Every structure is written in structure tokens, then in C-alpha cells.
Amino acid sequence: MFEAVLLTVITAATPLLIAAVGELVVERSGVLNLGVEGMMIMGAVVGFAVANQTGSGSLGVVAAIVAGMAMSALFGFLVLILVTNQVASGLALTILGLGLSGMIGEAFIGVPGLRLPELYIPVLSEIPFVGPVFFQQDALVYVSFLLVGAVSYMLFKTRAGLILRAVGDNHVSAHALGYSVVRVRFMAILFGGACAGLAGAYMSLAYTPQWVENMTAGRGWIALALVVFASWLPFRVVAGAYLFGAVTVLTFHAQAQGLGIPSQFLSSLPYLATIAVLVLISANRRLTLVNTPACLGKPFVPDR
């Protein structure tokens, strides 16, 4: 049973993980994109629509990524070229995404969806316990693991990652050294959009293969919390996503076990837990200061 619970937790945590990793890169470059929810839901609807029309789940996933990138490009144009307020622009993106996705998705409600196939990795998936849990999952679960590894490697072991972090920590100096702050941030924003779109595709093509309005149900906001929670370190995002997923799933198990705790209290546990962990992490000033991108949210306009 523990194995089954773990499988459920992995499924619940994956969209959070993918979206959070993308946003982590964006924030490391110094930009705060509150529009994750809007990009995710657009990815979900476009992914579902394309998969439904073409019969191909893979095409749906690709389309979802493109949709997420398109939304984030709009955001990038606003905050990098027109230098608008990042908080407001992110919120506008979310509102627009929720509305647009509802409109696009109207034709697809009540339509049974395509489900992304599970990938069985031969031999490895036969290992008792570890096998099914880690090696017999939706393709996107594997992608999420690879993504975390790749982002961590990129950020801390490559020159590109160094430049990205420099831009996020001190955009004035980075600019003086000749790096194009706008271009680096724009690339980061596009990557964040791609991840959010992918996470959305997971929702509508694997988690619950169908389309309904607002199906992301606030997961974009949780992903944002996870980035802070993880002090902008990729592997900690994994811990956060799985912790949040676990608390959510376990509340149902607690109910099914017949524990007489009010269900509303159980439902509020994931949110209270997030606050508690956020407080603990931020209270450790040294940890926070070391990892927070110093220029997060600050607009950048080069003086010539």
C-alpha cells in the first residue's frame, strides 16, 4: 500500500515540480513571473486540443510547450522591453490565461481525453518496490527528473548558468561586463513558459485526461511558493513538490481511514504546511541571502 501511495504522490507532485523548476530559472535571472497559473492552464488546454484533434499525445505535449512559451513571450515583451511592473504583468497574464483557456476549451468539455502512455523501462522496472515506483511511470515523470538534473547542472556547472545567475544577482555589473541582460532574461522567461506549458499538458493528458475550466486549480501559485521554499535550489524543489503532493494525498487517506478530523482542516494542511516551511526557511537569513537573486523583480533599463 505504501508503494501505491508513493505512486499517487509522484503523480500529484510532477506538475508542481515541472512548473516550479521553470520558474526557478526565471527567478534566478532576476524576473518574478506571477503568471505561472495562466501559462499552465493555456498549456493544458492547447495540449488537450491538439492531442484530441491529431490523435497524438506527443504533438499535444509539443503544442502545450509552444503555448506556454507564447504566453511567456508576451510577458517578456511587457517586462523586459516595455519595463512594466512585474507583479501586475504576471497577474494580467494569469487572468488572460484563465479566460482565454476557458474560451478555447469550450469545444472540448465532456470529451474523453488521450492518455499519455506509461513507459516501462525493461529490467529496472522489475526491481521490487523501487522498480514500479521509479521506472514505470508516465513519460513526463521521467522528464521531470531529467529536467531537475539538467537545470541544476546548467545553473551551477556551466558558463551559461553563471551568466544567468550573475544577471539575477547584479544586472548592472553584468551589463557593464557586456552581457545582454535582456536577452538572458528573455531566454529564461521562455524556458519558464515552456515548463509551465509542459506542466499544464501533464494535467490534461496524464493526470486527469480531460479538459475542464480552471483544471489547474491554483497549482501555478503552489509552484511559485515551491521556488521560494526551495531557496532557488533545484533539488530542493523536488523535496518541496513531493512534500506538498504527499500532504495533499495523505489527507484523503486520513479521511478514508475514518479519522474524525474535519475535512476542511485536512484540506488546509498543505497550505499551512507551506507557510510553516516558508517561515522556517526565510528565518534563516544566511541561507536566504545567499541564494535569493538580489535583483529579483527589479526592472532593468540600460542607460546609454
Partner 1 sequence: MKSILRGAIAALALTAAGSVAQAADLKACFVYVGPVGDFGWSYQHDQGRLAVEEHFGDRVETAYLESVPEGPDAERAIERFARDGCGLIFTTSFGYMNPTIKVAKKFPDVKFEHATGYKTADNVATYNSKFHEGRYIIGQIAAKQSKTGVAGYIASFPIPEVVSGINAFMLGAQSINPDFKLKVVWVNTWFDPGKEADAAKALIDQGADIITQHTDSTAPLQVAQERGVHGFGQASDMINFAKDAQYTAIIDDWAPYYIERVQEVLDGKWHSHSAWDGIAEGHVVMAPYTNLPDDVVEMAKATEAKIKGGWEPFTGPITKQDGTEAAADGVRLEDGAILGMNWYVKGIDDKLPQ
Partner 2 sequence: MRIELVKRKEHSGVMALLSPVIAVGLTLIAAALIFTLTGKDPALGLYKFFIEPLTDTWSLQEIVVKATPLVLIACGLAVCYLSNNWNIGAEGQFVFGAICGSFLPILIPDFANGATLPLMLVFGALGGAAWGLIPALLKTRFNTNEILTSLMLVYVAGLLLDYLVRGPWRDPGGYNFPESLIFSDAATLPVIGDGRMSISAPIAVLVVVVLAVVLAKTLKGFEIRVMGESPRAGSFAGFSSKRLTIFAFALAGALAGLAGTMEVSGSLNQLLPTISPGYGFTAIIVAFLGRLNPIGILIAGFVLALSYIGGEAVQASMGVSDKIASVIQGLLLFFVLACDTFILYRLRFVKSRKSAGVPEVSHV
Least distance to partner 2 from the beta carbon of 211, Å? 13
- The span of 8-16, 22-30, 220-228, 242-250 binding partner 2 (CB under 8 A) equals 220-228
- The span of 109-117, 141-149, 231-239, 266-274 binding partner 2 (CB under 8 A) equals 266-274
Least distance to partner 2 from the beta carbon of 45, Å? 11
- The span of 9-17, 49-57, 80-88, 131-139 binding partner 2 (CB under 8 A) equals 80-88
- In the complex with partner 1, the residue whose CB is nearer, 39 or 166, is 39
Instruction: Choose which of 78, 140, 189, 246 interacts with partner 2 (CB under 8 A).
Output: 78
- In the complex with partner 2, the residue whose CB is nearer, 56 or 292, is 292
- The span of 46-54, 149-157, 166-174, 283-291 binding partner 2 (CB under 8 A) equals 283-291
Instruction: Choose which of 53, 54, 173, 267 interacts with partner 2 (CB under 8 A).
Output: 267
DSSP string for residues in the chain: -HHHHHHHHHHHHHHHHHHHHHHHHHHHTT---TTHHHHHHHHHHHHHHHHHHHS-HHHHHHHHHHHHHHHHHHHHIIIIIS---HHHHHHHHHHHHHHHHHHHHGGGTTPPPP-PPEEEPTTGGGSTTHHHHHHEEEHHHHHHHHHHHHHHHHHHHSHHHHHHHHHHH-HHHHHHTT--HHHHHHHHHHHHHHHHHHHHHHIIIIIS-S--TTTTTTHHHHHHHHHHHTTT-HHHHHHHHHHHHHHHHHHHHHHHTT----HHHHHHHHHHHHHHHHHHHHHSHHHHHHHS-TTTT-------
Least distance to partner 1 from the beta carbon of 6, Å? 10
Residue 294 interacts with partner 2 (CB under 8 A): yes or no = no
Residue 286 interacts with partner 2 (CB under 8 A): yes or no = no
CA 134 to chain centre: 20
CB 101 within 8 A of CB 45: yes
- In the complex with partner 1, the residue whose CB is nearer, 94 or 204, is 204
Instruction: Choose which of 4, 54, 55, 103 interacts with partner 2 (CB under 8 A).
Output: 103
Binding residues (CB under 8 A) for partner 2: these are 34, 74, 78, 81-85, 87-89, 91-93, 95-100, 102-103, 106, 213, 218, 221, 224-225, 228, 262, 264-265, 267-268, 271-272, 274-275, 278-279, 282-283, 285, 288, 301, 303-304
